[in-house]
Chain A
Amino acid sequence: MGSKNFGARVTRFEDVALVSGKGRYVDDIQIAGTLHAAFLRSPHGHARIKSIDTSAALRCEGVHAVLTAADLPERMRKQRMPLLLPNATMSTLRTQHSLAVDEVCYVGQALAIIVADNRYLAEDALAAIEVEYEVLKAVSDVRAALAAGAPRAHADLDSNVVSEFVMNYGDVDAAFASAPHVFREELWQHRGGGMAMETRGVLAQADVTTDSLTLWSSTQTPHIARRMLAEVLDVDVESIRIIAPDVGGGFGPKAIFYPEDAVVAHASRALGRPVKFIEDRREHFLCATQERDQYWNVEIAVDNDGNILGVRGDMLHDTGAFVPWGIIMPYIAGATMPGPYVVPAYRLACTVAFTNKVATTPVRGAGRPQAVFAMERLMDRVARELRLDPAELRRRNYIRPEQMPYSVGLIFRDGKPLIYDSGDYPRGHDAALDLAGYQGFPERQASARALGRFIGIGVASYVEGTGLGPFEGVTVRILPDGKVRVTSGATSQGQGTRTTLAQIVADRVGCRIEDVAVTIGDTAGIASGVGAFASRLAVNAGSSASIAGDHVRVSILKLASRALGLPESEIDLEDGKAIGRGGNRPAISFGELSRAAQGMPGFSLDAGQPVGLEHTAYFAPTQASYCSGTHVAEVEVDVGTGAVKILNYSVAHDCGNVINPMIVDGQVQGGVAHGIGNALLEWMQYDENAQPLTTTFADYLLPMATDVPTCAIAHVETPSPLNPIGVKGAGEGGTIPAAAAIIAAVENALSPFGVRFAETPLMPNRIVQALEEAGAYAQQVA
């Protein structure tokens, strides 16, 4: 069995259609008779709904239905959306109603749906709905939410606190009591969005002839969405089919099953017509979930050589108005903080609180960028205080490869002890420094300074739990025409999942990669599935593809042995044929074998003959696999304007065995771009009434082609022992340490002025303000 495709730079199957304008995104699917939906949304951060009058809207041209909560079936009206990830520490398990019942808790929360002949008419009619609100005090800043007497994000709750929990191991107070040096930092990372270029969309088609419902959705998780929709609609889960067709980017927010999805599905059932809802960008800013908002107050204890003795502190997480995905981001953050370092004792006390803003759920990185920012800012502080090179300080503290597998001492979010499965952090560190020309940087910096330019360098390292369970399944089936059909609950929002699964299967069964046809993201394709989040598909679906492929290979050999009259050991599988090794190399095609495996009507199969050439495998990892890496950013700061330009960006990345280096490089590069946005540009701003202020791409800045350099990338491959193909996740590592490396580099560039930064995004005005306070401009004038 060869590995012709695994590890090769295979160009993607997906691309020919996509570059020809023949992709099939949700809004491209046009079914005759489709009606179009628009939602009425709250203009207030917090208000009681006194009355809603839809009578005028119902009379508007082209309107087929106007539904408020009062018009919904009892289950939808009375019960809130299902909570996907409950946790014992949560005192309040509050999710949204499908449509707001008597209170709205963030700007953009949906109160009513209008279904009309087209979107233009539906939006016209929105203006005709009359709502009487009693505006309530809103809580916008999560720190204010904890104050005694603070407004409550939900009028009926006594407190804004959702959960308080502590993550700890070792005797951290003893470590601090005897430590020669203790340094404290207060840090925060503001919230931003996933901002996939395709907004959310759903097309629901109820079929009265079969009592079934098909939903085309831009979801990352069709099987989970199906389960939740069945619960909300109170119907048989198998009567629902959810298809995620081409999806235009995910990044986390599309893993959520949204109230609008359920309401659109209900509207299609109620009206007996297909109903489509395509979110517009403003709605995406208001209503698609966001992430990052965390305030950290942490301290580190070190000895005189900079060896870490302990880390402790507290963290406050803004969950917004609801908790659709529980508290996993603060939990992941707490578990990520120790990272690649030997931290003998650790305690982080986490508080999760409500505000009147849209809920936070995972966005690329999911709590990890915040944790890495906190840890790496502490490391930079130690380096500065002890006058050590920041890279050298990290090298002294890395977990050594011979310590693997390494037990950190915590429980990770998969419910299993946090045990790093493999990794060589010093090797990754050295590889990144080499790519960055770190040794030569002081000289570059001195030359630049001589010319009045301020350049700086920053280093950040991380460990990321990836490949989370519970499972993903893959079916491999040889079709009568010899093609190999692969189906999976895995999905793709641009990651090239079809191509990578085909690479794995082609090698296992012995066929040409172009003969593998992959169908993913369709609940009709496989009984159970989970979907895309937590950089989990290469590990889960990749392993299942490998296992299922191996089983099918065994069946092919068994059948071919009978057909060719040769022992299995003398048969090779190549290019979709079973070929005898000796003589005139007799051969039989996979197509012929597939037909033989179906038998003949009425005739018994031979004893032991496989039925059909197919196998379904559900790989369920025993725990997370831990990807790691080191990033080095080299930046130039314009002292006059506060503008930051990233000159060079170097990444050493360990995701275990690399299935397709082109795709992994693309994931890393794209992840870094997201991290650059988080570090310097993207700030979802709200005023004190929780009114969003940045709801266009002119206000909320995404990185552009001139903001993101092409990264230098090195792959360090320490295969994971936890899955049959030795892989770890690769989708988020690019983002996770980027802000930490970039902010460190900005600080380093401005070291002559001694300015310090503890937040992201770091905007030019903030840099100028810090320089002003440091007297930088007075110095220049003098």
Chain B
Amino acid sequence: MTTTHSISVNINGQTYARVVEARMTLADFLRHEIGLTGTHLGCEHGVCGACTVLIDGRSARSCLTFAVQMNGRTLTTVEGLNVAVGLSPLQQAFQEHHGLQCGFCTSGMLMTLTELLSDNPDPTEQEVREVLTGHLCRCTGYAGPVRAALAAAEHLKGIKGAA
């Protein structure tokens, strides 16, 4: 009944070759086949944004993407954000500015904000808020994530300025 396909995909710098069913979503593939459970599923219909990952650097909903579509692509998940010394400036800012409570939606927000800060290193609060409309959070009321994103942008500008 179900068809299978061989795919090869680079995730967080490592290449994985797997045989997957055509109907397997990318989110289920990451979580159950690769064991990267940091990507979460909040609605499975593309609204809440918890499952957001970067596909070739662009944010995408992994619940609305099939694993077979990822053949030959390069993915980054939340597990790929950590740097050698520990947390990235964005992750650190989320801790410092209380950008998360239960943490369930956080992975998706971090992915989208990583993309934002790479596209636009100096966002306004309004720009951060508009980007975050792609993410539902029931705990924080968004004040913490917004503060964290702006603080991370400041910090990254400082690093860039010093370099």
Does A103 have its Cβ within 8 Å of any Cβ on chain B? no
Q: Is the CB of B79 within 8 A of A669?
A: no
Contact A670 B95 (CB under 8 A): no
**Whole-angstrom CA separation of A61 from B1 in the bound complex:** 10
- Complex Cα distance, B102 from A496, in Å, reads 8
Contact for A197 among B79, B104, B133, CB less than 8 A: B104
**B141-A21 in contact (CB<8A):** no
Could you tell me the dominant secondary structure of chain A's interface residues?
A: loop
Asked if B95 contacts A15 (CB within 8 A), the reply is yes
Q: Which of B81, B100, B128, B146 has the most CB of A within 10 A?
A: B100
**Within the complex, which residue of A16, A27, A197, A672 is in contact with B95, where a contact is CB–CB below 8 Å?**
A16
B123 within 8 A of A: no
Q: Which of B29-37, B65-73, B154-162 contacts A (4 or more CB under 8 A)?
A: B29-37
* Contact among A118, A280, A673, A698 with B141 in the assembled complex (CB-CB below 8 Å): A673
Residues in B whose Cβ lies below 8 Å from that of A671: 141
By a beta-carbon cutoff of 8 Å, the part of chain B in contact with chain A is: 1, 21, 23-24, 31-32, 35-45, 47-48, 50, 77-79, 81-82, 86-87, 91, 94-96, 98, 100-107, 110, 128-130, 132-133, 135-147
Q: Which residues of B contact A22 (CB under 8 A)?
A: 38, 79
Q: For A495, what are the chain B residues with a Cβ–Cβ distance below 8 Å?
A: 101
A126 contacts partner chain B, Cβ-Cβ < 8 Å: no
CB distance from B22 to the nearest CB of A (A): 11
Q: How many A-B residue pairs have CB under 8 A?
A: 180
Chain A contacts of B95 at CB under 8 A?
A: 11-12, 15-16, 19
Q: Interface size (A, Cβ < 8 Å)?
A: 57
Q: Is the CB of B143 within 8 A of A198?
A: no
A403 at interface by CB-CB < 8 Å = no
Asked if B35 contacts A30 (CB within 8 A), the reply is yes
Encode contact with B along A673-690: 1 for CB under 8 Å, 0 otherwise.
110000000000000000
Main secondary structure of the interface of B (DSSP, over half): loop
Contact check, B102 vs A281: say whether CB atoms are below 8 A apart: no
Q: How far is the CA of A14 from the CA of B78 in the complex (A)?
A: 16
Q: Which of A242-250, A353-361, A380-388 contacts B (4 or more CB under 8 A)?
A: A242-250
13 example contacts (A-B, Cβ-Cβ < 8 A) are as follows A19-B78, A21-B77, A21-B78, A118-B32, A198-B42, A248-B103, A249-B138, A249-B139, A281-B43, A696-B43, A698-B45, A704-B133, A705-B132
Which residues of the partner chain A approach B82 to less than 8 Å between Cβ atoms? 20
Given A14-B103, A20-B79, A21-B39, A705 contacting B129 (CB threshold 8 A): yes
Q: Which partner residue on chain B sits nearest A119 by CB separation?
A: B28
Neighbour of A248 across the interface among B23, B39, B86, B104, CB < 8 A: B104
Contacts of B44 in A (CB 8 A): 280-281
Q: Is the CB of A196 within 8 A of B102?
A: yes
CA distance A674 to B38 in the complex (A): 25
Q: How far is the CB of A225 from chain B (nearest CB, A)?
A: 19
CB distance from A3 to the nearest CB of B (A): 21
Interface presence of A666 (CB below 8 A) = yes
Query: Which residues of chain A are within 8 angstroms of B103 by Cβ–Cβ distance?
Result: 14-15, 18-19, 23, 246, 248, 494
Nearest chain B CB to A109 CB, angstrom units: 22
A604 close to chain B: CB less than 8 A: no
Distance A337 CA – B128 CA, assembled complex (angstroms): 39
Residue of B35, B77, B102, B110 with most chain A CB atoms under a 10 A cut-off: B102
Residue among A12, A281, A702 making CB contact with B138, cutoff 8 Å: A702
Interface segment out of the listed A298-306, A542-550, A706-714: A706-714
A760 at the interface (CB under 8 A from B): no
Q: How far is the CA of A118 from the CA of B31 in the complex (A)?
A: 13
Q: Contacts A25-B104, A697-B48, A706-B133 known; A670 to B140 CB distance under 8 Å?
A: yes
With A61-B1, A669-B140, A705-B129 already in contact, the answer to whether A19 and B106 are too (CB < 8 A) is yes
User: CB-CB < 8 A to A674: which residues of B?
Assistant: 138, 141
Residue A663 interfacial (CB < 8 Å): yes
B145 touches A705 (CB 8 A): yes
- A494–B102 contact, CB under 8 A? yes
Q: Are A666 and B42 in contact (CB under 8 A)?
A: no
**Complex Cα spacing A15 to B77, Å:** 17
Q: What is the bound-complex CA distance between A197 and B106, given in angstroms? A: 10
A281–B48 CA distance with the chains assembled, in angstroms = 10
Asked if B132 and A663 make an inter-chain contact with CB atoms under 8 angstroms apart, the answer reads no
Q: Does A214 contact B (CB under 8 A)?
A: no
B40:A248 contact, CB within 8 angstroms: yes
Min Cβ gap A566→B in Å is: 41
With a cutoff of 8 Å between Cβ atoms, the chain B residues found around residue A708 in the complex are 141-143
Closest A residue to B77 using CB positions: A21
Q: Which chain B residue shows the least CB distance to A673?
A: B141
